[in-house]
Amino acid sequence: MEFFSAFLNLVPVTLAQSLIYSFVVLGIMIPFRLLSFPDLTSEGAFPLGGSVCAALILAGCDPFLATFVATAAGVAAGATTALIHLRFRINSLLAGILVFTALYSVNMRVMGRSNVAMFSADSIFLHIDRAIVSNVWLQIACFGTFLLVALLALRWYLATQAGAALRVVGINPDLAPSLGISVCTYTVIGLGMASGLTAFGGALVVQLQGYADVGMGMGILINGLASLVIGETVTGRHTVTRQLLAPVIGAAIYYQLVSLGLSLGLQPSDLKLVTALFVLVTLGLPSLRGRGGGRETMRA
């Protein structure tokens, strides 16, 4: 039972990791579920947040200010995707691809090279409690607090008139203008908010792991989608609260499944393939069931 012992040792580490990446899954959920806007900006916003944060901290900037600026850069990236789609009538997926492709060059310019080390640099964790860097349980408490604040803020916003207008844009964009709701404004707000959360997650990651890399966002979208699908399967999507909890619960389960796979001997290089197949099966199963039901009806 060595694999079980290895898995148990990884549980707190992957739990702390899932709390950070919950920001990314929230950033993926907002455009996909609340706005019905397939968006790929997360692939670029995550390393953008990490790159901006790392560059500013290494330049001597206060870590809290660097994290704020990194989050603002993510907001700008998401807003850019929305404006490209709305103003130039470009498909939402293509707009996201254009932005995260351009962000690769932006991240290279920001850092000056493909990766930078931050092992001796300042971070927000050193200001909160120096033990956070080495104590996984303190990391869980810290990241959990950040996440709770973000969830409460999102829940409050979605309960306001502006939040309701954003959801209307996602449900029926053709009806929204007749209600006095600007589709352009709320699409920009929603995508900006989503990419801001993703960039914030990237800023936390580079400060915790001690380095930033322009390729750190590769595959983050498929991981986030897998987490979102798992979370929605567990919590459902019937209420706003359930929809907000789905990314958190899904990320926790997904990363525990990843650690279980590694404990069983699965190679890290195989995880992307397994994740892609999992998402494909999960999303395609209802369609296959529907076709099966249709065939039975035709036979009857």
**pLDDT on residue 286:** 59
Beta carbons of 233 and 287 less than 8 angstroms apart: no
Q: How confident is the model at residue 124 (pLDDT cuts 50, 70, 90)?
A: very high
Q: How confident is the model at residue 298 (pLDDT cuts 50, 70, 90)?
A: very low
Instruction: Answer whether residue 20 shows pLDDT above 80.
Output: yes
CA distance 265 to 267: 6
Angle, alpha carbons 71-76-79 (nearest 5°): 125
pLDDT band at 1 (very low <50, low <70, confident <90, very high): low
Q: What is the mean pLDDT of residues 135-152?
A: 94
Asked which of 4-8, 31-35, 142-146, 230-234 is least confident by mean pLDDT, the reply is 4-8
Residues in contact with 269: Cβ distance below 8 Å, sequence separation at least 6, in sequence order: none
Inter-helix orientation angle 271-299/240-263, to 10°? 120
CA–CA gap between residue 204 and residue 150 (Å, rounded): 14
Which residue type, as a one-letter code, is found at position 92? Answer: S
Q: Note the pLDDT of residue 297.
A: 45
More confident residue, 111 or 10: 111
Residue 247 pLDDT more than 90?
yes
pTM comes to 0.90
Domain ranges of the chain: 2-216
- Give residue 102's pLDDT: 94
pLDDT tens-digit readout, 82-111: 999 999 989 989 999 999 999 999 999 999
User: 42, 58, 41: which is closest to 110 by C-alpha?
Assistant: 58
